[in-house]
Amino acid sequence: MTTLLKTDLGTIPLIGRGKVRDLYGVGDALLLVATDRISAFDHVLGTGIPGKGKILTQISLFWFDLVREIVPNHLIATKVADYPAELHKYADQLEGRSMLVKRAQMFPVECVARGYLAGSGWKEYKAAGTVCGIKLPAGLEDGSRLPEPLFTPSTKSQDGTHDENISFAHVEQAVGADAAHELRRLTLAIYEKANKHADSKGLILADTKFEFGTTQDGIVLADEVLTPDSSRFWEASLWKPGGAQPSFDKQFVRDYLESIHWNKQAPAPSLPQDVVERTLHKYLEAFRRLTGRDLDAQA
């Protein structure tokens, strides 16, 4: 499996490159291309994970289909043959890892759902007994199940810096009360359905984040959804509150970078082959467990 770190679509207008995705303008639509870049501690690393972009795209498409009765999404087409003709010659860069999508006016917040205490939520709870200002019971541990899933929004970083947790009141100020309540409803409804599916596969969806936008048809689910890059999936049989949980994400990468005492400043280091392989294995295992199928060889 080859590694695609950067796309080049000739004269197709490049709008921007994120940590993982390259974004192009295609007439009235956008083309999202998931590369094999991987980031950690807010930096893109010198080594990619071969096929990662295809795995994440195929996971997103699975979830878009599963939750479409809750909220429509921004998808137009996912097969290069269905794209405008000028894109066909770039099929080797696009097939299986790209989505042609509607342009949407994006909401300026990350919509986060938490069913378990972890990450920045755990840090805030340790310091203040709250998550996004929501008071929680005393005595919870790292990895504890919350009394009920919470909507814990955050800022949406535009410059690669860290997102910051914000209160629901902040969301109301940013997007209006009606939109804020609808974003909370949709976020928790998607989380509930996704966690139920994950549970049926022996997994826990600890938390996840969504991005929503508006089109002429109303609110749509956009970007990527419920992948190991945007969600914490844990092995249900190994779940034990009191510390970090075995997860299906880039934890191998984070652990390696901590072990070499990287100062988390550019330039980011490259990864040894064994870390690349173990990380790829985790992404593939998540795909197979969640979707019940192998990655399409043609994807």
For all residues of the chain together, what is the average pLDDT?
Answer: 94
Please report how many Cα atoms fall inside a 13 Å half-sphere around the Cα of residue 104, on the Cβ side: 25
How does residue 298 score in pLDDT terms, banded at 50, 70 and 90? very low
Core vs surface per residue 213-239: b (16+ CB within 10 A) or e: beeeeebbbbbbbbbbbbbbbbeeeee
Which CATH number applies to 105-238?
3.30.470.20
- Helix, strand or coil, per DSSP, at residue 277: helix
For residue 252, what pLDDT band results from cuts at 50, 70 and 90?
confident
What span, in angstroms and rounded, lies between the C-alpha atoms of 262 and 106? 35
**Over the stretch 154-171, which tens digit does the pLDDT of each residue have?**
988 665 556 788 999 999
- Higher-confidence residue of 295 and 280: namely 280
CA 155/CA 108 separation, integer angstroms: 7
**Predicted local confidence at residue 1, as pLDDT:** 72
Q: Which of 107, 206, 194 is nearest to 154 (CA)?
A: 107
What Rg, from alpha-carbon coordinates, does the chain have? Answer: 19
Average pLDDT over residues 176-182: 98
Mean pLDDT of 193-204: 98
> Six-digit token pair at 148?
């009920």
Query: Per-residue pLDDT averaged across 42-71, rounded?
Result: 96
- Residue 240: pLDDT over 80: yes
For the cut 70, the answer to whether the pLDDT of residue 227 exceeds it is yes
CB atoms < 10 A from the CB of 137, how many?
10
Q: pLDDT value at position 250?
A: 85
Statement: residue 113 has pLDDT above 70? yes
Mean pLDDT value of segment 205-234? 95
The long-range contacts involving 245-248, CB below 8 angstroms and separated by at least 24 positions, are 245/118, 245/143, 245/204, 245/206, 247/206, 248/203, 248/282, 248/283, 248/285, 248/286, 248/289
